[in-house]
Copies of this chain bind each other. A is one copy, B any other.
Amino acid sequence: MKILVANRGEIAVRIVRACRELGIPAVAVYSDCDRGARHVRDADQAVHIGPSEAARSYLCIDSILDAARRSGADAVHPGYGFLAENAQFAAACRDAGLTFIGPASETIAMMGSKTAARAAAARAGVPAVPGTLDPVGPAVAPAEVACIAREIGYPLMVKAVAGGGGRGMRPVDDEASLKDAVRAARSEAGSAFGDSAVYFERRLRRPRHIEIQLLGDNHGTVVPFVERECSIQRRHQKVVEESPSLAVSPELRGRLAAAAAAVARSVRYSGAGTIEFLLDESGAFFFLEMNTRLQVEHPVTEMVTGIDLVQWQIRIARNERLDIDAAAALVPAGHALECRIYAEDPDHGFLPSPGLIRGLRPASGPGIRDDGGVAAGYVVPMFYDSLIAKLVAWAPSRGAAIQRMSRALHEYHVLGIRTTIPFFLWLMAQPEYIAGQYDTTYLDRLLAERVAAPGATSFNQLPDGDDDLVAVAAAIDAYLQAGRRVDEGATGAARWTGVARREALRG
């Protein structure tokens, strides 16, 4: 077996590691701006697939199939994002005689339609969030749209049928704002997914996002795992995940797992997948959607179960039988957290912060796992998702895991670009977070309050002493640099060109 990794960044690096441990050669693909990227350096082979724009490289099915042919790969791992949930890609791989490491193209297509997925869940006896069973296409008349909405009841959520990643979504509180919301959602969905169909879902009050990771093999076995909680979201984007959830009792866990397994079995699911639920305040849960791929947050499940999900994806694709103790898979060993380290500036509305990484020292030591995708000297491009690393902390208890995460965040150096590390340092100290009292609306509320608060401080606010120390350090650095300028008999400007030249060497 030789696996082409049809992805980039940290997940590509993660997959290459799994290949190495299984003794399988890994082929990386890269766009122009990723020539020096870590996944290219770590792989056994690397093939250039086009310009930096994702549409002409990582999203270009033909280029990737061609790369597989040229590199002699016989299997393709899509990772997540890009083509991971593209049914055409899965089919194209199959037609090209390549093993697609994931479920059948048909399964991807069915679950890719949110309404079809909700119907499948219903058939499997799993209640979905109350809402429309059929898409509300552009043809449907405004009056009828209003009727449908009234049936569901307000507040509700307008969602893209082909949706994902929080795009094509609009909350609606009353009929007055329905029309604009539908128009906005449709246009966003149209441009994002090429399908402007939307549907309506009732909006639960303060729901928690609970999801069940599962594996299915080609011999009918489905194993669900202990839940992950992903309620810490910013604008419908997960930023911190954990396992287990404080909101899930062993009894509820059993019911969630059974429901997830029922849905997966009903579609004869093969590979790694995740069923997302919303858990309401009364403890009732509802099917939200199924992701027919690996999730960004898969490491927290690996930490509390010891199972390597990526290795299992590959072994399942090799037709191996799952030999995981299903009972043990539902008993978490300790507690794990994941912080998604993004190249974003939390002090400026989380604006993207691409650019040259001048220095990098990931955290390490007891209970810490760093799944990183970058290196010092690499220029984080503006073309792709801003996730540069996932920092995972494990400890016997949630409290100890939070302390460990804080320790690791303090220890983590990324120099040259802004990251969300200072934001996570702040979040790990929030009483509600520490107490586990949160839902999917928590973080946006907290951030809004923070901005509104008079004299709101920066996430990078330093204790007074350290503030002084930064001034002292900067002055001593400048003093030493000035010394060097004299030594080198260069002008003030030379220092910076000097720096520039050193950077240039970094390619």
Contact = CB atoms under 8 A, between A and B. Distances in A.
A21 interface: yes
B361 A21 contact: no
Given A302-B366, A366-B299, A361 B334 contact: no
Given A21-B404, A306-B396, A14 B365 contact: yes
A403 interface: yes
Nearest to A401: B21
Nearest to A361: B375
A95 to B, nearest CB: 33
A366 B502 contact: no
A470 interface: no
Contacts of A370: 364-365
Contacts of A21: 400, 403-404, 406-407
A366 B17 CA distance: 8
Interface in A351-372: 361-362, 364-372
Contacts of A42: 411
Nearest to A310: B366
Contacts of A334: 306
A20 B407 contact: yes
A308 interface: yes
Contact of A371 (B14, B364, B375, B502): B364
A20 B410 contact: yes
A250 interface: no
Max chain B C-beta neighbours (<10 A), residue from A17, A23, A299, A368: A17
A74 B222 CA distance: 56
A1 interface: no
Contacts of A447: none
A97 B21 CA distance: 51
A362 B404 CA distance: 19
Interface in A378-423: 395-396, 400, 403-404, 406-407, 410-411
A441 B271 CA distance: 46
Contacts of A371: 364-366
Interface residues of A, number: 41
Given A21-B400, A333-B333, A400-B21, A366 B308 contact: yes
A307 B366 CA distance: 10
A375 B18 CA distance: 27
A364 B369 CA distance: 7
Nearest to A402: B21
Max chain B C-beta neighbours (<10 A), residue from A299, A400, A407: A407
A411 B20 CA distance: 10
Interface string A428-445: 000000000000000000
Nearest to A370: B364
Interface string A282-314: 000000000000000001001000111010000
Nearest to A375: B361
Contacts of A502: 502
Nearest to A405: B21
A130 to B, nearest CB: 39
A372 B364 contact: yes
Contacts of A364: 362, 364, 369-372
A451 to B, nearest CB: 29
Interface string A1-33: 000000000000110011011110000000000
A505 B498 CA distance: 13
Contact of A407 (B17, B375, B411, B505): B17
A369 B366 contact: yes
A404 B306 CA distance: 13
A368 B369 contact: yes
A209 to B, nearest CB: 24
6 contacts: A14-B366, A17-B407, A22-B403, A333-B333, A365-B370, A484-B505
